[in-house]
Amino acid sequence: MEKKKIMIVEDSNAMRLIIRNMINTNPNLMVVKTASNGREALELLPNTSPDLILLDLEMPEMGGMEFLRLARLKTRAKIVVLSSIAIAGSAVASQARSLGADGVISKPSGAVSYDLEEKRGSEFWTVIHQLLGIETHK
């Protein structure tokens, strides 16, 4: 099976590393690009062609909501919002979905969640695997 390509759009260096390390444990996935804001991600999209984008909402220059509005015109990639402000059932999560997010996962401990895998790992992997149509890894 060819590895699925993941783009991480996150302004925090620490969170990009945490997410990259999680993705790197999965033999079916690979991180192809990272961007620190929506503007940078939009510029990278044409040459990256990711299968899935993990998207923060609160970022400088261009946040995740604006990225969602514009990205749906440029990519067919699945987009999963990964943000501390997009709590299940919240207005923010609903707005993200209405703008084209395929999934929403809340960061468990704020903007930089070192415990992402511990507290949201199961949800993280379930959403990604379902969206990409791949079997769960161990």
Q: What is the CATH number of the domain that holds 28?
A: 3.40.50.2300
Question: What is the pLDDT, as a whole number, of residue 86?
Answer: 86
Per-residue exposure over 86-104, b if at least 16 CB sit within 10 Å of its own CB, e if not: beeeeebbebbeebebbbb
Q: Would residue 58 count as lying in a domain?
A: yes
Number of helices and strands in the chain (H, E):
5, 5
Average pLDDT over residues 11-16: 97
State the pTM of this model: 0.94
Spatial contact of 70 and 42, defined as CB atoms under 8 Å apart: yes
Whether residue 114 has pLDDT greater than 80: yes
**Amino acid letter, 95:** Q
Question: What is the pLDDT, as a whole number, of residue 89?
Answer: 81
Q: Would residue 137 count as lying in a domain?
A: no
Domains identified in the chain, total number: 1
pLDDT bucket at 54, cuts 50 / 70 / 90: very high
Average pLDDT over residues 51-59: 96
What residue numbers bound the domain in which 58 lies?
A: 4-132
Apex 101 CA angle, 55 and 128, nearest 5: 70
In terms of C-beta density within 10 A (0-12 exposed, 13-18 middle, 19 or more buried), how is residue 43 classed? exposed
The whole-angstrom separation of Cα 97 and Cα 113 is: 22
Q: Would residue 85 count as lying in a domain?
A: yes
